[in-house]
């Protein structure tokens, strides 16, 4: 393993004219590359920058960037989440890597983590320039809770009208005045009371570790997630090689459901890996070598390096 590592600050344009900013951890010239997507509302400093650095030390050039409206990347309003646009941005990241001239343009993979796991799969389903996809802690369906959906959608429609009249966009904080985490997504509503009590921890950690982190998101973000149903696209990932990693004790998306999605995929090269002893909330404590070595072996097979 090299003692030093080259990291370059980069930026690239999206199809709709935004500038996304991040880092390129430089691997061998003419070698493979991987696009590293971040988690829910998280700037790259939260976990995935370390992932990209690890891949950069182990034979791949790794591109990691802040998603649109997050961190240092462009996008207004801020923290305005649009997972379909984020999947499209993966295609623009592929174009950037191909034009940059350092990596093999025909050996580019994409990588997703929890929230971005489905984003990475959606990107690979449409863009066949992506030659492998790694998806872990699969969160495929961001349904709103049935008890909250009608009110949230009504608020989103009102917010759209208000913005057209010149009002600022409406936001919903991640934590209420009591310090409790919002529970508008069905994933979160289904958690146990004890699990819900631990939810605010990630917000406090994000504030500490990422100076650009904002602990609120636009009302329009909920409207978009109510419409985002990417699961039906996953069959179109084939024939692209795919690896799915499931935390053994995932308390948000049952591992057996993640496995059923894996079983339904028809890619000739596909691998399912169970991350032993880990759940959703304690996943970030996993040893990187233990987590990423199986992924590296998969990428070596898929990208032939």
Encode pLDDT of 33-62 as tens digits. Answer: 999 999 999 999 999 999 999 999 999 999
Residue 3 in this model has a pLDDT that exceeds 80: no
Mean pLDDT, the chain, whole residue set: 95
The pLDDT confidence band at residue 204, using thresholds 50, 70 and 90, is very high
The pLDDT confidence band at residue 262, using thresholds 50, 70 and 90, is very high
Please compute the mean of the pLDDT values over residues 238-260 and round it to a whole number.
Answer: 95
Please compute the mean of the pLDDT values over residues 81-91 and round it to a whole number.
Answer: 98
Which top CATH class is 7-142+228-303?
Answer: alpha beta
Please compute the mean of the pLDDT values over residues 62-84 and round it to a whole number.
Answer: 98
List, for residues 172-182, the tens digit of each pLDDT value: 999 999 999 99
The pLDDT confidence band at residue 98, using thresholds 50, 70 and 90, is very high
Domain spans of the chain?
Answer: 7-142+228-303, 146-225
Indicate the burial class of 101 (C-beta count within 10 angstroms; 0-12, 13-18, 19 or more).
exposed
Q: How far apart are CA 305 and CA 301, in angstroms?
A: 7
List, for residues 152-190, the tens digit of each pLDDT value: 999 999 999 999 999 999 999 999 999 999 999 988 998
Quote the pLDDT of residue 1: 44
Residue entry with tokens 């590296």: 296
Of 202, 225, 224, nearest in space to 213 by CA: 202
pLDDT > 90: what percent of the chain? Answer: 91
Quote the pLDDT of residue 2: 45
The H-or-E segment that residue 70 falls in is none
**Could you give the angle at which helices 219-227 and 83-100 cross, rounded to 10 degrees?**
90
Please compute the mean of the pLDDT values over residues 97-118 and round it to a whole number.
Answer: 97
């Amino acid at each position: 393993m090299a003692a030093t590592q080259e990291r370059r600050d980069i930026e690239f344009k999206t199809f709709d004219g935004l500038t996304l900013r991040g880092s390129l951890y430089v691997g061998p010239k003419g070698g493979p590359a991987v696009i590293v997507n971040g988690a829910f509302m998280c700037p790259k400093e939260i976990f995935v920058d370390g992932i990209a650095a690890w891949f950069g030390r182990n034979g791949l050039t790794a591109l990691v960037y802040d998603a649109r409206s997050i961190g240092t990347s462009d996008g207004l309003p801020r923290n305005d989440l649009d997972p379909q646009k984020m999947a499209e941005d993966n295609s623009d990241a592929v174009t950037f890597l191909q034009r940059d001239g350092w990596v093999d343009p025909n050996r580019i993979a994409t990588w997703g983590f929890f929230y971005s796991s489905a984003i990475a799969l959606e990107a690979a389903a449409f863009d066949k320039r992506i030659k492998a996809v790694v998806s872990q802690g699969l969160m495929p369906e961001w349904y709103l809770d049935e008890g909250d959906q009608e009110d949230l959608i009504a608020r989103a429609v009102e917010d759209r009208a208000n913005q057209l009249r010149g009002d600022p966009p409406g936001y919903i904080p991640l934590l209420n005045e009591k310090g409790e985490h919002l529970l508008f997504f069905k994933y979160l509503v289904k958690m146990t009371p004890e699990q819900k009590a631990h939810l605010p921890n990630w917000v406090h950690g994000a504030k500490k570790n990422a100076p650009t982190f904002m602990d609120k998101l636009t009302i329009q973000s909920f409207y978009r997630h109510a419409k985002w149903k990417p699961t039906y696209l996953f069959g179109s990932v084939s024939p692209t090689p795919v690896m799915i990693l499931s935390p053994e004790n995932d308390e948000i998306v049952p591992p057996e459901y993640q496995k059923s999605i894996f079983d339904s995929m028809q890619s000739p090269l596909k691998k399912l890996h169970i991350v032993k002893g880990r759940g959703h909330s304690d996943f970030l404590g996993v040893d990187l070598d233990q987590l990423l070595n199986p992924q590296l072996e998969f990428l070596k097979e898929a990208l032939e390096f």
